[in-house]
Structure 1
């Protein structure tokens, strides 16, 4: 896309539908008018390009999505990298001819190579591309994945550490040369923080008996109270800057050495599950837990509801056998 000076004014030269879409070149007497025209074309490309001329391919849509929206996401680089690979795996078809049937056929083959969750993530990412471009008036052919259901999956087991394992792990980490891994683990167990949130913690974010987590997965800042002695120990480490180095491998090594068996893919995340599970077992409130963990939906937090001492105990009180007589 460009605006350049030409003999009789300023020329707008754009391809609103990507590299394979129709090229629009128009001249305006002033640069300001040319810039205004460019904005109008990008805002409502269908007003300037007939639908039959749309030659954009799936890769073009991915790039356009990234340029206009994707780059604002926290995981933008990983997301666009995945989408580029996905478009290539699908054969980079003409976008307006891409159908739900093509996706289903791709999915059937892909399921022989990866887990259903991976496919569902790809489904979500690609569907979002069409939806977002549609919202921005950069796409007018509908969303081919709108009515396609995701692959049904079983709920994964949420592993957690019991009291004995917690003490065993902390004693093991306390004996290491550096105490970084120990303190990161303690923070996760005390606040339900993700490993990355605790590991990247800065001294400025440890307030009086509080930890303020910024740059979280949801993008929202959250504050969690902590033990007075822990807050004091963290503040004594340094006044400014990051408190810890990267200790992921040290934690993985400790779990292996202690022979603690965890569900697949839940290495450091077991600490977050451990906090949530014990919080509920000790009588914590599910709505408070939602705030602490930073879940946007209570549905996510409800995975821990069954740990509550009185969870569904009405089943024993009000079943037809118990109420007879």
Structure 2
């Protein structure tokens, strides 16, 4: 088969359709794949390299990687290479190519990045910085308490529905990566702040059509964006004088780390976080030495 010179757009469209339908990936993940391929097509256009996805060769890809390496850190380069490999593997699978031009291109070697976490006092400090007299104060408090109390990804938080709150059973239903549903336990403390927001603030809002079941709403009655959650967290960190570089994901890291430090089973944490592999959860084993020593002294028969 032959794509032709101008068929990059069709190749990208087919690939994104495959990622969504066949692999069931989340929209944000698919968008990242698409943006990485567009970086390659922009490079080809900039240097007037009129090459189709069928005939692009390893040398062309190496030139692109060398060019873009000046703009990206090693972690972003590794993700880019991985995404492009998947794209060309898809073209091979569909019969458009016989080889992958990234087959011999190695990703940068990455050290295992330990996630940033907040201490319990820092989380209390940050929540204490929320201005509850502000119209969005109660909502923002419920958002932070839910991120930390349930260990949710930011997209899981923004997609949380009223119909997914099963407080009597002590669970919330979460739509995770690849549209996979899971039940996450919720404690009564976190539940209290969601109910305060829901019953005292949200009840006075008129949701826009299509958002009546969405839990957290913006001022216009629509679903909050990921960017807005990032803005809320960054602003609170600034007001609480917390110097760490934190994001909504920091609360998820802190949730897992604090559970582990207090003796929770790694497999249980894996289920609550919605990790497919226990290897992903094992990154939270970065406990301080004093905790490791106390575990040894408490549980080893020779201690």
TM-score (norm 2): 0.75
Which whole-Å CA distance do the structure 2 matches of 1:205 and 1:58 have between them?
A: 40
Instruction: Tell me which protein shows more helix as a share of its residues.
Output: 2
| Gapped regions of structure 2 (runs ≥ 5) | 204-211, 218-223, 297-303
Q: Aligned with 1:126: secondary structure?
A: helix
The answer for the alignment partner of 1:185 in structure 2 is 144
Residues matched between the structures, number: 261
Closer, same or farther: CA 181–92 of 1 in aligned 2, 3 Å: farther
Corresponding residue to 1:259 among 226, 238, 241: 241
Q: Aligned with 2:179: secondary structure?
A: coil
Q: Aligned with 2:237: secondary structure?
A: helix
Q: Contact (CA 8 Å) 2:145, 2:193: kept in 1 or not?
A: no
Instruction: Tell me which protein shows more strand as a share of its residues.
Output: 1
In the TM superposition, what are the counterparts of 1:188-267 in structure 2 within 5 Å? 188-207=147-166, 208=168, 209-214=170-175, 216-231=176-191, 234-235=194-195, 237=198, 241-245=213-217, 246=224, 247-248=228-229, 249-263=231-245, 266-267=246-247
Which whole-Å CA distance do the structure 2 matches of 1:85 and 1:144 have between them?
A: 16
The answer for the alignment partner of 2:132 in structure 1 is 175
Between stretches 178-187 and 110-119, larger displacement belongs to 110-119
Which whole-Å CA distance do the structure 2 matches of 1:152 and 1:139 have between them?
A: 31
Corresponding residue to 2:248 among 247, 252, 268: 268
Closer, same or farther: CA 166–235 of 1 in aligned 2, 3 Å: closer
Q: Aligned with 1:125: secondary structure?
A: helix
Corresponding residue to 1:109 among 56, 67, 83: 67
| Gapped regions of structure 1 (runs ≥ 5) | 1-15, 21-54, 315-325
What is the CA-CA distance between 1:252 and the residue it aligns to?
1.7
Q: Aligned with 1:95: secondary structure?
A: coil
Q: Aligned with 2:173: secondary structure?
A: strand
What is the CA-CA distance between 1:256 and the residue it aligns to?
0.9
Q: Aligned with 1:155: secondary structure?
A: coil
The answer for the alignment partner of 1:131 in structure 2 is 89
Closer, same or farther: CA 256–176 of 1 in aligned 2, 3 Å: farther
Which whole-Å CA distance do the structure 2 matches of 1:228 and 1:313 have between them?
A: 28
Q: Which has the higher contact order (CA 8 A, sep 6+)?
A: 2
Which whole-Å CA distance do the structure 2 matches of 1:312 and 1:95 have between them?
A: 57
Closer, same or farther: CA 225–65 of 1 in aligned 2, 3 Å: closer
Which whole-Å CA distance do the structure 2 matches of 1:224 and 1:97 have between them?
A: 48
In the TM superposition, what are the counterparts of 1:289-304 in structure 2 within 5 Å? 289-304=269-284
Closer, same or farther: CA 255–93 of 1 in aligned 2, 3 Å: same
The answer for the alignment partner of 1:17 in structure 2 is 2
The answer for the alignment partner of 2:300 in structure 1 is none
Q: Contact (CA 8 Å) 1:305, 1:311: kept in 2 or not?
A: no
TM-score (norm 1): 0.70
RMSD: 3.0
Greater C-alpha radius of gyration: 1
Corresponding residue to 2:102 among 128, 132, 145: 145
Q: Aligned with 1:152: secondary structure?
A: coil
Q: Contact (CA 8 Å) 1:173, 1:182: kept in 2 or not?
A: yes
Q: Aligned with 1:213: secondary structure?
A: strand
Q: Contact (CA 8 Å) 1:290, 1:298: kept in 2 or not?
A: yes
